[in-house]
Amino acid sequence: MKHTFKLTALSALLCAHAYADPVYQPPGPNLTYGSSSNNQSIMSSIANPAAAAAVLINESSQYRAGIISIGGGYEFGKVDNLYKTIDDTKTKLAAQTVDTTTLTTTAAIATYLNDNLVTPVNSVTTALQQDGKASVYFSGHVPLTPFVISKKGLGGSFVLDANVSAIANLSFISDQMATINAGDAAVTTALGTGTYTPAANDSTLLVKAAAVGEVGLGYSRPVLSRETGDLTAGVRAKYYQVKLASNTQRLITSTGAENTFNASQTYASSSGFGLDVGALWTSKRYRAGAWISNLNKPSFKYNANNLTGYTSAGVIAQLNTAETYDMKPQLQLEGAAYSESQNWVVNAGLDANAVKDPVGRDFQWATLSAAYATNSWWIPGARAGYRSNRAGSKLSYLTGGLTMFKALSLDVAYGLDSVTIDGKSAPRSFMANLGVQMTF
């Protein structure tokens, strides 16, 4: 089954489907904490599947629910004024005026065109293929999820989670211009008419988009208790509903980069199941854990690209790759050290391997944070940290967050690299999350 949506309306999907923790937008306070388990945020229960049961070490029962959890962000490549750069390149691939009063031979025209058209265009399109990217994404949980029941009478903790994410990504595929020769027919024509028409070019704007939904049910329980600490283990089963779209637009026939990014898409829909397993050791002064997500590697297909009119074998080969989205298994490691009162805590997290998001970007997070946690209704909890993507874009962020009234959380991640957007300097990437939770 296929569905048509507007990329500019991807955020509306948040109200219509259920999806879980995307690798590119850590939910709630996880944006600052990383995926380290902690008792202050309900969102830590959807990271390590063993985390929820850790509360039973000190309590006989607890119930927690998320009321609101929404987030969003953007990311640009290293090309300044991306949309204008792409559109200016399109203009150069159209007919070019040649001053035949100063360029009086085909050899002179060929030299002029190679220096002023071919070399600059190839340089720009090479940079666009490497760094000419833009992404926008949104995420949100279905109200009252995650819902966590931790009760010794049940032997452990159950976690029900349902949330949604949507992402769109624009990238560029370069078709390099060939060197112009004096004997080319188009050069001879230019000598007589004063107009040079470049050969057909398959440089392409590629827009990939995804709306992925998930409902997950997890169970964790204590499995070992010693004077030095307690071990919990957990498992989580997930049902995915995935909608993927891939759309190509040749640069020379596009209506503009930004319009192409916002154009209608046709989505291919499929579903699948995932499985996570994890373990967590909790001591009086530290925690250490590990888990593997998507152990069974669920896979989902894109719709086929329309390649009518393409002649470049290199471009066609690139467009025919990555026709599936594979949720590759990822090993994640976590650790935390805290004060005797557990009000002060330092967290660290590391993804042991990189995985791709639905639009093909690579992620491998490393995080470090420090926090002051409080049980007071009036004294806010505060946290600050640093996160870095060790794969793909290699971007780094300063992160920070506040928890107020024991329920309301706000977290932001501010990219440390900058880029020019519409003539103004801005961070290449930025993320923000807002959440409300309750504990009873």
Per-residue pLDDT of the chain (440 residues; tens, 9 = 90+): 444 434 444 433 333 333 346 889 999 999 999 988 887 789 989 999 999 999 888 888 899 999 999 999 999 999 999 999 999 999 999 999 999 999 999 999 999 999 999 999 999 999 999 999 999 999 999 999 999 999 999 999 999 999 999 999 999 999 999 999 999 999 999 999 999 999 999 999 999 999 999 999 999 999 999 999 999 999 999 999 999 999 999 999 999 999 999 888 889 999 999 999 999 999 999 999 999 999 999 999 998 888 988 999 999 999 987 688 999 999 999 999 999 888 899 999 999 999 999 999 999 999 999 999 887 888 899 999 999 999 999 999 999 999 999 899 999 999 999 999 989 999 999 999 999 998 87
Question: What's the DSSP call for residue 116?
Answer: I
The per-residue pLDDT for 265 is 85
Pairing of strands 264-282, 286-293: antiparallel
The CA radius of gyration of the chain, in Å to the nearest whole number, is 26
The per-residue pLDDT for 11 is 38
> Does the bond joining 146 to the residue before it have cis omega, within 30 degrees of 0?
yes
**Separation of alpha carbons 117 and 93, rounded Å:** 9
Is residue 393 within 8 Å of residue 409, measured between CB atoms? Answer: no
Main-chain phi, psi angles of 254, to 5 degrees: -75, 160
pTM of the model: 0.92
Query: How many other CB atoms sit within 10 Å of the CB of residue 107?
Result: 13
- Give the type of residue at 125: T
What residues pair up with 68 in beta bridges, in sequence order? 436
Packing angle, helices 119-131 and 82-92, rounded to 10: 150
The per-residue pLDDT for 21 is 64
Please classify residue 252 by burial: count the beta carbons closer than 10 Å to its beta carbon, then call 0-12 exposed, 13-18 middle and 19+ buried.
middle
Please classify residue 324 by burial: count the beta carbons closer than 10 Å to its beta carbon, then call 0-12 exposed, 13-18 middle and 19+ buried.
exposed
**Separation of alpha carbons 335 and 338, rounded Å:** 10
The per-type count for the chain, helices as H runs and strands as E runs, is 7, 24
**Separation of alpha carbons 108 and 71, rounded Å:** 57
Question: What stretch of H or E contains 258?
Answer: helix 257-261
Residues 6 or more apart whose Cβ sits within 8 Å of residue 30: 21, 41, 43, 44, 47
